[in-house]
Structure 1
Amino acid sequence: MKNEKNIAILKEKIDEVRICLFTTVDAKGAFSSRPMATAKVEDDGSIWFFSNEYSLKSAEISKENEITLGYSSPSNNTYITVNGKAELVDDQVRKESYFSAAVKAWFPDGVEDPRLILIKVTPASAEYWDSSSSKMVVVFNILKALVTGTQYEGGDHDQIKF
């Protein structure tokens, strides 16, 4: 039950932030990151993205599918990391269901674009930090911790294992 609750929290936070740094491993073993928009987070925690099947990112996933996603919304004090495995999926039903006007900027031919592929990320673990407080409240609480000699408590934090 706790995992279902945490997946729901993770889904809500990712839906709020939407853009992540999608990190793969290149042919030389170095990390390679690029910003990507989340298309969908399903109830099982799987995270979906649109991509070009012939991109460098897709080639990297085909060789080494361990990835990391990093979401950040400093204005909302929300931070999320997801570690998992990525796979390329050609699923016409999902393409049609998840496609949006924003995706059309990269794929003007829509869901019929022959380059269009989905990336499914199956999380192994995730971690999030979230303080719904305003920046003023966060600064005040940091100063309060410094003055009182207590440890700053920055809000919600949890780890999720899948």
Structure 2
Amino acid sequence: MSSPEHKKLIWELIKPIKVGMLVTKTTEDSGGMRGRPMSLVQDAYDGTLFFYTSKSDAKAFEIVNDTDVCLTFSNPKDNVYVSLTGKGCVTQNKELIDRYWNPWVAAWFENGKDDPDLAMLEIKISKGEHWDSKNNTLVQIFELAKATIKPATTPNLGKHEKFGKE
């Protein structure tokens, strides 16, 4: 888990990105992984992320079958990358559905909040890491070149931090 300050930092990194890739283990015999884009709907982060879905969608079945999930957020323009790992569950909690309902979500669910197939994914984050480099590409190239010339030098490409249980 992370501190309230760290949760605030994670939210500041992922909120402007808005869409993350949710990775689940497929229910196919091959046992592969599958990622798909999911849009943030909440206005704060306390260690849990919520996403709308159809309970009949493959990702819902995959999460019921194996609760381990990974979420990744990427903003290459600003050199921000976040990877979050946690446990997912599928819920039809009306209070949650009402709390985060908005016109964007309504566009995906034509039968509205009362759609019997409407559900939410609740992802409780347990660990992750983030990379945040304010350096532009030219500075990063310089840092890499410097490290190549001086092998004992580690390039300073920005901030990288892990958190949570390993």
Q: Spell out, residue by residue over 1:27-76, the C-alpha distance to the aligned partner (whole angstroms, 9 max, x if none).
A: 22211111111222754210111101110110111111111111111111
- The 3-state SS of whatever aligns with 1:114 is coil
- Unaligned stretches of 5+ in structure 2? none
Q: CA RMSD in A?
A: 2.0
Cα shift readout 1:59-106 (whole Å, capped 9, x = no counterpart):
111111111111111111011111110001222222222122222231
What residue in structure 1 maps to residue 89 of structure 2? 87
Contact 1:41 1:47 in 2 (8 A): no
Which of these residues, 154, 158, 166, is aligned with residue 155 of structure 1? Answer: 158
Cα distance in 2 for residues equivalent to 1:41 and 1:10: 13
1:12 aligns with 2:12: yes
Identity %: 25
Give the TM-score, by structure 2 length: 0.85
Q: Secondary structure at the match of 1:105?
A: helix
Partners in 2 of 1:87 and 1:160 — Cα distance? 22
How many residues are matched? Answer: 161
Q: SS of the counterpart of 2:88?
A: strand
8 Å Cα contact 1:11-1:41 kept in structure 2: no
Specify whether residues 43 and 21 from structure 1 end up closer, same or farther in structure 2 by C-alpha distance, changes over 3 A only: closer
Q: Determine if contact 2:135/2:157 at 8 Å carries over to the other structure.
A: no
Unmatched 5+ stretches in structure 1: none
Shift of 1:135: 3.3
Instruction: Measure, in 1, the Cα distance between the counterparts of 2:157 and 2:41.
Output: 29
**How far off its partner does 1:136 sit?**
3.8
- Give the equivalent residue in structure 2 for 1:100: 102
The AA in structure 2 aligned to 1:78 is V
Judged with a 3 Å threshold, the aligned counterparts in structure 2 of structure 1 residues 102 and 138 are, in CA distance, closer, same or farther, namely: farther
- Give the aligned partner of residue 142 of structure 1: 144
TM-score using structure 1 length:
0.87
AA in 1 matched with 2:136:
S
Partner letter of residue 62 of structure 1? V
